[in-house]
Every structure is written in structure tokens, then in C-alpha cells.
Structure 1
Amino acid sequence: MSKKSSILILMILMLSVSIFGEEGKYVRKSITAVDSVWVKPGAIAEGDTFDYKFLDEMLDFYVRGINTQNKEVESRFDFNELPKKMTKEFRDQANSLEMVDSKILSKLLEDTVGKEILKILNSDEVKKIRIENLKSETDLETFAASKGKAKSATFEEMKILMNSAYIYLPYITSVKKKIKGKDVSYKINGGIIWYSVKISKDGNVIINKLISEQTFAVGSAEIGAKNSDGELIYDEFIFGNNSYKVKEAQYAQYSAILALAKNLGVKTKQIDDFKLKSQIMEVKSQKEYSVSVGKKEGLFLDDAFDLIEQEEDENGNVINKKVGFVRISKTGDNRENKTNYSTVKQYLGSSQTEGTLITEHPFLGVDLKIKGIYAMGLNIKKSDINFILNKMSNNSYNIITKDADKATGVQGSFAYNLAPITGVSQMFLNIDMSYMLPNLETYTDDKPSIYMYSGYLGLSRKFWIGRFNLNAGLGLGVDALSFKYDYEESYYDYSYEIDLLAYGAKADLGAEFLASPNLMLNLDCSYKATTKPKKAKTTYTSGDFSSEQDYTLTGFESTLGGMTIGVGFTYSLEALPFDIFGFLDPLKRY
């Protein structure tokens, strides 16, 4: 794509520094936006298309916190608009750059956007908001109407009013599309550069790079894939109550865009100045407290916070020390009544008193669970496997010599926190995927590949006692037994593949220990009941010849259910390179 035809869209958000003083109060941020993102020239292959509008929508939702589908959900930010004329000037100059780096962009931002910042910060409306916040924190009596100068204000107090801006630049460095067979995928590399805006005594604006975060995301789809009703699977992309008619390639692109924006949203919340902050307003019980943040700041049920103690280091500097971990157990509606406090429940650390500070501990809202598993009580008959294999080959091999009643393997799960949607704390939507090796035995030295795999969707709930929880869940899914046998002779070689499919239901019980805010150790067991396999997918391959056939099974006695014990860990993610359950995010309301 030529430089002349490249599209440069930039989103710049100017956020005021939160005033986190002795009162421990979170002050809403003032944001000035250009509504755009910078794309590196040549990042998108010539002839490919990229949906900038959808990217802007996702950045609005995840970074700025604008939920157009639910007006009751408030953003933690206030917004201003930059002049359109200044926006055009910035774009035109950026498009003409031969080379691009953060230093060059900083100078360009200073010469265009920076000149408008003073006008915005000195507007009567914005100045009034800042004056009110300063009064509540410093008991500053009055500010003069002219350029925000206070009759009794020191220069340090003036800096709180004037040195109160950030600019961020979302960017994309590459968008790669890949098609392999029927599979289409996208990989997007990008990130955010944050700038601080400093205004000196004489009013000059200086913009310096504050931080740079990089991430990537992928999305995929299968061309022509259909469900059991014969309907296309990837012809519609769902995001909350919104749906987008798409082709498979666009579906993959949207999925990658959503994952990228979601990661950038978490990275934004992790910046100290943008974290929600409060203090303990009231001790309700030994490990339960009231805090002042709530729906007005975009708070949700089960949002996490660190308990903070402020102390001085050896040089006399005030440092924040983490002394505990809490989650929101009740979200207070403080939009009209600021004394309608939220409630937090403590999981780590000793009991605290009124005045203790809390700062946000942002998570993605998705947990990853990995565990080793041992299954007992399986009922996999050697006669069933041999019957299918012999039927395929018109022979009587009887390769399997022993039934299987046990299996060992690993299970991976993703758990999405449903609390902000359902209003029920610590409720999760789970996807469980397992891989196991059953103890089937064969007579041949050419060991066949025999394994079991499953996929389940379910609900679970955790019940906490201190840093321990007991959890229970239910799930429905599909189990499969896969058998692959490769045989080689001097004149020819061939292979057989069999997948026996069964439907199942399971119940889970477990216990977890919270080792750190992000990490839990777990021990659990589950009981699974499955139908007898009703279908078998078989594949025969010999040289370049391959044939597939589906069998409807009758008279099968094998079942893939039983008792499973698992030991592992759960990690609360802060980033994920692909989208999972993202379509549910706009439905959060509690």
C-alpha cells in the first residue's frame, strides 16, 4: 500500500491525573479524543481490507469504557472534543512523514494537539470540575477566574490543575492474513504509546513519551463451516446485542480486533493514574468493608483491588505497600447518592481499619485452569474397537487385546466471570477441554495412537472461606475416543483412523487455595456420564488414496464416562492473544 493511499487515523485521549491524596478519593478523568488509531504504512497488505470503524468501536468500549448498548454502565472518564481543524492538520502532517518513531510523533503532537490542550484545560467547564476536586482534597478556598490562578494557590497547587493531561496513541504495526485450506486467520500486532503533557510556568507545552506497551491478537474461522442444521457458522459476528453480517475472513479479523482492544483496555487500567482508587469508609465485619467507588466509576461485581499501606522509605519518599486483596461483593449505585457505598470482601492479608487505601487490580475477566487428571471407571471394550477396525479393512486383526478402565491426561479450561452479568458473585461460564491416554493394550509392536479427548460447556460457582473456596459445577459436552494405526510393509503402507463420538454430562466438585491475587491451587473431582457411542468417523489412507466414512453404531457396549480426579492451578489472566467469550462483555451491568 503506497504512502499516499495509506490511511492514518489517530485516537488521542487526554486524561487528567487523578488526585489521590490523603482522602484516598478517585477523581474522574477528563478525556479529549480525536477518535482514531495510527496504522503503520504498509502494515496492511495491498488488496486486503481492514475495518477501521469496528476497531474504533472496540477501542471505545474497552479503552474508553463507552458502552452504547447499556446506558446505565458509566465510564470512569469524562470527555471533551478536539477541534476538527486541528485533527485534520495532525493527520495531514503525519501522513507526510517519511519516517515514524515515538520522538517524531511526540514533536508533531506538541505542535498540533498540544497547542489546543491549554485552551481545553482553561475552559470554564473543565476548570470548574478541577476546582471542585481540588477543594475537596486540599481545602483550597478559591481559584481566580483568570487562567485558573488561585489567590492563595502555590505553584505546586497550580500544577495539579494545569499539569493534568495524558495523550495516548493506539497503533498497529502489522495485519497479516493467512489462508490454509479452508482455514482463514488474521494476526494483528499493535499497542499503545502513552504520553504525558507538561505545562511549564510560562505556558509552554512539552509532550514526552511515558510508556509503550505492545501486544498481539489472532482470530480464525473455517470457510464454509456449517452447524448440524446446515447453517453457516461464521456469517455473523456477535458482540452483546449487536450483530454484524460478515464473511469468514472478516469474522477472523473482527475476532482478532476484539482481542487486541480488550488487551489494550486492561493495559490502560493497569497504569497507576487510571486505576480506580478509594479508601475503606466503614468496617462492616472482620473482613468486609465499605468503599466509595461504585457504578459512577464503571465498577462491576467481583472487580479486584489491592489493599495499600503508605509508608516512607529510607529516603523519605512515600511508597505504596500491598497488604491485602479484596473483591467487590456488592456494587453501590453512587451516581446520585455518593454515600451509597460499595462493599468489598477480603481474601488475602490481615484485617484492616477505616482509612486504608485500595487500588484497582485489573484482570481480563477470564481465568485459565490447567490440571493433570486421572480417570477411573471407564468402560472401553476391546471388541468394539476391533469390530470397527475389522469392518473397515475386511479383515480380522483384533489388534486391541485388553479393555480399558483407566486413563491419564491433562485438562485445560477457560472460565469467564459472569458476576457482572448475572449479579451473582463468583459465578463462571466454563469451557473444558481434555486429552487422555486410556490403558488399552495391543499385540502389535507398531503401537497405534489411542487417545481420548472431550469438550464441555458448563456453569460453576465458588463459595469462599478466607483464602479457600469450595466450588461446584455442571456441564454438557462431547467425548471422543480416537484410534490411529499406521502399518508399513515393503510394498505398501496404509493407516486407519477412528473417532468414536458420545454425548455426556458431568458434575464437578473442587477446592481452591488462593496463593496470590492471580494464582490459585486446586484439587477437584468430577463424575461424567456418557451415552454409548452412536457414531464413528473413519478414515482410510493408502499412499495418495484416502477415503472417509461415517458409521452408525449399533450394539456398542463401551462408555467413556467415569470418575476423574484432578490437581492443578488456576491463573487469572491479564491478557489473552485470542477472543473467548468477548461477545458477553457488553452485557455487564452489575
Structure 2
Amino acid sequence: MRTTGCVSIFLIAFALVLNLGTTSAFAQDTQEKYQRKSISYVDAVLKLGNASDLMPKQERTLLEVIRREIEMPRFDYNALPSEIVDAFKRDALRRGVQDIDALTEAMNEVLVPEILRIVDIAKEMRAQDLVSEAAQHSFVVEKAKETGITAEDLEAIMNSAYIYLPVLTQVKVHDSKATNTVNYDLRGGIIWFAVRTDEAGTRVELLIKDEAVGKGAARRDAKFKYKGRRVNGPEYAFITAAEVLAQNLKIAAQKIPDFQLTNPLADTGPGWVEFPMGKREGLGVDDKFIIAEFYEEGDGSLKRQELGMVRVARVADNVEKKANSRARTVIGGGYERGMLALEHPRLPIDLSFRFGVLPVSVKDGYGWFDDEITSNFYTGQLWFNYNLAQTTNISQFFASVYGELGSGTLKGWEMWGENVPAGLYWGVGGGLVKKFYVNRLHIGLEALISFADYSFSGTGTDPIFNKDWNWETSSLGFTFNGDIELALSYDWNLGAGVSYRLFAPTKDWTYHYDNEKIDLSGITDLPELDFSGLGYQIYLTWSLPSLGYDPVKMARGAIGH
């Protein structure tokens, strides 16, 4: 005899199949226009392995964050009844499931056979001539009485053709009182199933089992504001790790062919295209779309030919009436009506790898060398560019943070009778960036607040003063960059630019001799170091498909504010 939970699963699957006549059995690539999908979800996080130790409050937070990211406007949603969730949890626990592969196998063994049995139930409905909406509703109500699941729950998922299950497989916590830090590493995923109906019958497909990671860190004793409330350091570290995990899972869901936004071009012009999508589908400024055509091969199969890429510039309000959004051409051109636009999802974060040549000069304060020596530092730079278009509605508007590390020598410079060797330079900064683009070419303007630090070390050559010594100074200033970029592909840009750096000259040196800090407060003739002047950079920029951490949130956690 079947348990009530198994019968419940059976009936939910039955409700799914009743309304799957319009679900395509073919790949999304053959579908010209995106059709809204109705999704049923398990309103719980299934915890495997050491994730089973997750506290209830953390589980609620994780589920809230995942649903906020995954439940995009392109979908309609219905939660599976708690009876279904509880029955499946019990089965997974009985099996001792420890990873996503085993869980997928369990879902196939528990859910799929029940769904496939629906064919026989459908025959029963046809035999009873239950063709009217009222008759079908009466049938559902009767089945609800038998199983204890409400008719509302059954009817709520009548139109669903997909099911997703959030899973957490690993939680690593490093909580250190010594360093006053707490770190969370989360690993989890989502299992997607689709019920397909075509001429061959009904079948269940495992769409994909996505896994992703999310990392978060914070000071243990800090307090943070999060969505109108205050949270402590460990809470903030967990929340940020959950948000990163959920955002990566969202991008993975958008890549699933069944869920990828697609539409034929409704209109075209010089440097722009329009398609019938907008706010109703959750379209955003700067979303990328590949333009493609499909050709039929000799064997009847369809082959996709990608022609280029566009970036959304204006989002139409199509919630209540039809309207077209406009996108500007980035790669390719000469597009025609009827060509297909396919979503190319990416995180709103670009990563830049830069090589920079930075100015530096020093003025003598004591007479050890000529009045002024100028030179350059050579640095490697890592930039994170956060696209603000979704919140500001301004295309290609970024908040950027960067870090740089390099070295250089000011030839002929002496300090207290010692030749100054090559030193270590490092810097950090952040600011705003606006890019303007015409097809493949992008013009970028960057305004940033920058911090620079320079130090050099050596060993005394004097017979008496022969210990190790170190000099260090730093300054705060502004950096203004003008860049030009070329789009090499959908996700990679090659750029070069010129910068002007405006820093306050500094004589504020720190000096250590034999590991002891020496008081320089009474010395007024120290050299003046200046990081101002013209610089140059070349770089590659990558639009990220995923990232295991959020640099700004990590920095905020480290600062403790």
C-alpha cells in the first residue's frame, strides 16, 4: 500500500501532466519566441552532508535569497505543498543521500515513475469524458479528499511544467577569535526537472543539476546594516555568501535553453534592433543578446549561425500592453527583421587585468642629489567594475574598485648617504566609470579616488651603521583615465588608455632601522615624493559568467562597516 506522501507526489505529477500540451519537446534553439514558463518549487532547502547542521534561521535566509534571485519575472511560480516536500525529505533521509548526484537519482526513482503513471490516469479521465473545466476541477477535488491535499494546492500547480529543488551540500565556517574574523564557504545547487509531452508520449527530463559556490567574510565584532536591520559579523558573512551562491545559480538558470529569453527582431535600423520583450520578462539595461539565424541541414536538423551581439539600451514597459525594447549593436550589423535574439546572461561585474605605467618624482630636501628626479613605476592591476545600469537605468555606468602592485627605481636618488634601490609600490582606489560605445569601439571615462604607497629597503654599508633599514611613505589623490576599448568577442574587450594622477606631494616618511621605528618628527629636510603626472595602461576586460565572492562585500566585511 502506498503512503499518503507517495500518493500526494503522484497527484501533483498528474496535475502537471494535464496541462503540458503546449510544452515543446524540442530544444529551445528551435523556438522563435519565449513563452512564459510556470514553475513549481520546493519551498525548502534540502541539506546534505555537513550542511545538515545549518541553523533554521540560516536556512530561512538562504531560501529567501535563492528565491529572490531564481524567481525571475519571466516565470510564474507555485510552491509545492508541504506534504510533498516532507515526503521527499523523508525518502532522501532514508536513502542517506549525501550529494547532488545521489539526490538526482532519488528524485528520478521517487518522482519520475509516479509522473509516468499519469498516462493511465489521463486515460481514466478521458473514459469518464472529463473534458470540461468544471468536471476536471471536480475530479481534482475528489482526489484531494482522498489524499488530504487541498484542491487549491493541486490547482495552483495545474499549469506547471518545471520543478526546481534548492540543495545545500557543504558549509565551511572558519571562526577565529585570534584574527577577529569569520568566513563562510557555501556550496549548493538547484536540480531542474521538466515534464515533456509530444507525439511519443510523456516523459520526464532532468534539465540540469547546477552547482555553485559562495564565499563571505566579516569581522566578528562588527555590526552591519542589511535591508533595514542590523546584523552581526557572522550573520553578514553568511548572508553575503548566500547572495553570491544564489546569484551564480541565477545565471546558470538563465543559460538553460528552456528558460533563455528569445524573440525574433521586430524592427532594425543603423546600429540598433528592437524585439518584443521588456519589463514583463525582467529585461534590464545592458543585458546582452546574441543575434542568430537558423538553417536546416540536409538531414533536417537545424544549425544555428551566430551573427553578432547587441546590448539593451532601452527597456520597454510591456506589462499591460505590447511594446518593443531597443538594443544597440556591439558586434556585427546589418541585422534584419525575423532574425532571432537569444539571451547571453552574465554577472553585472566586469574583471579587468591591466598593465600600468605610473608617474613618480622626488625632490631633494637635503642636497643628496639634483633638485628633482622623475621616473615610472610599472604595475599589474586588478579591477572590478560593477555595472549600475540595472539600478540607475544608465547604460554602461560602473562603480569600480581596483588594486595594483608594482615596482620601480628613481635613478640617482640617495637617502642619508645610501643609494635607493628598486622599491615596492602598491595602491588601491575606487570611483565611477562611464563608457560610450559605437559598435565594437568603447570610449571610457574614469574618475577615481586613489591611495598610493611606496617603500624600499636595504642594508647599511657604513662600518658602524650596517643594519637593515626601510623607508616608506604614502599619499591620497585622484586618478582620471581616458580609455578606448575594442570588443574582441561577446565577453572580452581589449583596451588602452592614458591617465592623469593628481596626488598631494608627501614628506611624511616612516623609517625603520634594525627593525626599530626611528622618530623623524624633528627632521624637516626629507625628500618630497609625488605620484602626480601622466600614466598609461593597456588591459583586457572580461564579463564574468560567475564569481565565487563579491569583492565589495568582502571589503565591507573586512572594514566592519
Q: Deviations over 1:320-343 (max 9, x none)?
A: 2211100111100000111x2101
Aligned to 2:223: 235
> Aligned partners of 1:84, 1:336: CA distance in 2, in Å?
34
Q: Is 1:38 the counterpart of 2:50 in the alignment? A: no
> Aligned partners of 2:455, 2:345: CA distance in 1, in Å?
41
Identify the match of residue 437 of structure 2 among 445, 452, 464. 464
Shift, 1:100, TM fit: 3.9
Q: Which runs of 5+ in 1 are unaligned?
A: 1-11, 66-74, 122-142, 149-160, 225-233, 387-397, 584-590
> Aligned partners of 1:323, 1:165: CA distance in 2, in Å?
32
> Larger Cα Rg: Structure 1 or Structure 2?
2
Q: Is 1:367 the counterpart of 2:350 in the alignment? A: yes
Q: Which runs of 5+ in 2 are unaligned?
A: 1-12, 120-130, 138-156, 555-561
Aligned to 1:574: 545
Question: Equivalences for 1:178-257 in 2 at 5 Å?
Answer: 178=174, 179=176, 181-198=179-196, 207-224=204-221, 234-238=222-226, 242-257=227-242
Q: Is 1:473 the counterpart of 2:446 in the alignment? A: yes
Aligned to 2:382: 412
Aligned to 1:395: none
Q: Is 1:331 the counterpart of 2:338 in the alignment? A: no
Aligned to 1:431: 401
Overall identity of the aligned pairs, in %: 26
Identify the match of residue 319 of structure 1 among 295, 303, 308. 303
Shift, 1:42, TM fit: 2.1
Contact 2:349 2:543 in 1 (8 A): yes
Shift, 1:62, TM fit: 1.7
Shift, 1:379, TM fit: 1.6
Aligned to 1:278: 263
Letter in 1 for 2:180: K
> Aligned partners of 1:108, 1:25: CA distance in 2, in Å?
34
Name the SS for the 2:49 alignment partner.
coil
TM score, norm. by length of structure 2: 0.76
Aligned to 2:7: none
* C-alpha distance 311-43 of structure 1, shift in aligned 2 (>3 A): same
Quick check: 399-408 or 448-457, which moved more?
399-408
Contact 2:308 2:331 in 1 (8 A): yes
Q: Is 1:304 the counterpart of 2:288 in the alignment? A: yes
Shift, 1:309, TM fit: 0.3
Contact 1:186 1:256 in 2 (8 A): yes
Shift, 1:203, TM fit: 8.3
* C-alpha distance 175-100 of structure 1, shift in aligned 2 (>3 A): closer
> Aligned partners of 2:310, 2:187: CA distance in 1, in Å?
34
Q: Deviations over 1:438-492 (max 9, x none)?
A: 2135789999672222212111211112211211121112222233447899xx9
Shift, 1:435, TM fit: 1.8
Shift, 1:256, TM fit: 1.8
Q: Is 1:521 the counterpart of 2:525 in the alignment? A: no
> Aligned partners of 2:209, 2:448: CA distance in 1, in Å?
41
> Aligned partners of 2:448, 2:536: CA distance in 1, in Å?
16
> Aligned partners of 2:172, 2:529: CA distance in 1, in Å?
45
Name the SS for the 1:574 alignment partner.
coil
Name the SS for the 2:528 alignment partner.
coil
Which structure shows the bigger proportion of residues in helix conformation? 2
Identify the match of residue 335 of structure 2 among 331, 335, 352. 352
Contact 1:237 1:243 in 2 (8 A): yes
* C-alpha distance 536-101 of structure 1, shift in aligned 2 (>3 A): same
Shift, 1:192, TM fit: 3.1
Identify the match of residue 530 of structure 2 among 559, 562, 565. 559
Shift, 1:411, TM fit: 1.6
Contact 1:176 1:188 in 2 (8 A): yes
Contact 1:62 1:261 in 2 (8 A): yes
Question: Equivalences for 1:14-33 in 2 at 5 Å?
Answer: 24-33=32-41
Aligned to 1:57: 64
Shift, 1:550, TM fit: 10
Contact 1:404 1:438 in 2 (8 A): no
Q: Deviations over 1:247-291 (max 9, x none)?
A: 3233222222211111111111111111111111112x2221221
Aligned to 1:258: 243
